[in-house]
Every structure is written in C-alpha cells, then in structure tokens.
C-alpha cells in the first residue's frame, strides 16, 4: 500500500521540522562556541547531526513507500541566547514540540489505517523519550550548579565527551 496524499504531505512536513531542528541545534552550538563552551557546543553539534539523521530516515521511508519528497524552505533559527541554561531550556521546549509533531503523525497513521507508517513511527516515539530526557538532564544539572563556576567548567568537559553517531570526512 502506498502512502496516502495526506500522510505523504505530513511526513514531508516532518522532514522539514527535523531539518529545522538540525539548524536550531547548530545555531545553539555556535552561540555556545562563542561563549567559550566548546563541550556544550560539541553536545549541540552532535544533536544537530542526529536531527539530520532523523530527517533522512523519514526521507528514505517516504521514497520506499512510493511517495515523493517536497523540500520546503527551512526557517532561520534564533541565533543568540542569554546563557547555557536558556539554550538547553530552549532545546528541551523544542523537543516537547517535536514529540507533539510525532504524536500527531502517529494519530494520522492510525486514522489512515496505515499500519506500516504507524510501525515506522514507533522508533520516533521512543527516540523522543530519549531526546526529552537528555535535554532535561542538562537543564536540571545547570540549575543545580547555578549555571556558572567550577560546575559549569565540569559540565563543559562532560558534554565535550559526547561521541557522534558518525563523522564527516575532514576537508582537504
């Protein structure tokens, strides 16, 4: 069974949302880098890569189901935040939004009786539990340490140890 037009359109919108998420996290990484918090920046760059992976996973699924890809303009993200806590609170809030978008896709798949898409989307449902918990953990730790001093330095070191899912080849 091919994707319904409604499901195809909704999945394409989610591809755009995942690409926006990647842009947002790259923008957050840049702001953190400008604040000399390279470890925090590393965490966000890896998050940006994960969001791009999520978009490509959807992209491949749409094509596999005989659908077409429609790429829309990606909204420009915010570029500056007050401090690391504000950035990670923004990331957590954004993940809550993405969770609601995924849940809407699941609801649509159920309504459309598209069992294959519903099954596929369960990976995203699980992933969002992880994404929310991961961002919230950093928020809670930043609140605990007051967002400054030795605690901030130690968190920067900890977040700098996050390893990417994949790496891009170095430039020549």
Domain spans in the chain, listed from the N-terminal domain onward: 5-71+94-160
Q: How far apart are CA 143 and CA 138, in angstroms?
A: 9
Check residue 73 and give its pLDDT: 97
Q: What is the largest CA-CA distance in the chain?
A: 57
Burial profile 55-67: b = 16 or more Cβ within 10 angstroms, e = fewer: beebbebbeebeb
- Domain 5-71+94-160: give its CATH code: 1.20.1260.10
Token duo for residue 31: 């702001």
What is the arithmetic mean of pLDDT over 100-109? 98
Give the confidence band of 131 by pLDDT, cuts at 50, 70, 90. very high
Per-residue pLDDT tens over the stretch 12-53: 999 999 999 999 999 999 999 999 999 999 999 999 999 999
Q: Residue 100: helix, strand or coil by DSSP? A: helix
Per-residue CA distances from 146 to 37, 58, 83, 138, 153 (Å): 16, 38, 11, 12, 12
CA 12 to chain CA mean position, Å: 16
Give the confidence band of 11 by pLDDT, cuts at 50, 70, 90. very high
Per-residue pLDDT tens over the stretch 52-102: 999 999 999 999 999 999 999 999 999 999 999 999 999 999 999 999 999
What is the arithmetic mean of pLDDT over 114-122? 98
Check residue 82 and give its pLDDT: 97
Residue 144 CB contacts under 8 Å (≥ 6 apart), including other chains: 151
Check residue 167 and give its pLDDT: 66
Q: Dihedral through CA 106, CA 108, CA 113, CA 115, nearest 10?
A: -30
């Amino acid at each position: 069974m091919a994707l319904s037009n409604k499901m195809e359109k909704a999945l394409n919108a989610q591809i755009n949302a995942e690409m926006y998420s990647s842009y947002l996290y790259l923008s957050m990484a840049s702001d953190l880098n400008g604040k000399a918090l390279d470890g925090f920046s590393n965490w966000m760059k890896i998050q940006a890569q994960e969001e791009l992976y999520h978009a490509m996973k959807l992209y491949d699924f749409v094509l596999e189901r005989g659908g077409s890809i429609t790429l829309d303009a990606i909204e420009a993200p915010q570029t500056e935040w007050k401090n690391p806590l504000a950035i990670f609170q923004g990331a957590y809030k954004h993940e809550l939004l993405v969770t609601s978008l995924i849940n809407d896709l699941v609801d649509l798949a159920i309504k459309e009786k598209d069992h294959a898409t519903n099954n596929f989307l369960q990976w995203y449902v699980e992933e969002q539990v992880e994404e929310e918990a991961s961002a919230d953990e950093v928020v809670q730790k930043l609140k605990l340490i007051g967002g400054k001093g030795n605690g901030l330095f130690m968190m920067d070191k900890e977040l700098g140890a996050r390893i990417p899912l994949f790496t891009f080849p170095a430039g020549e």
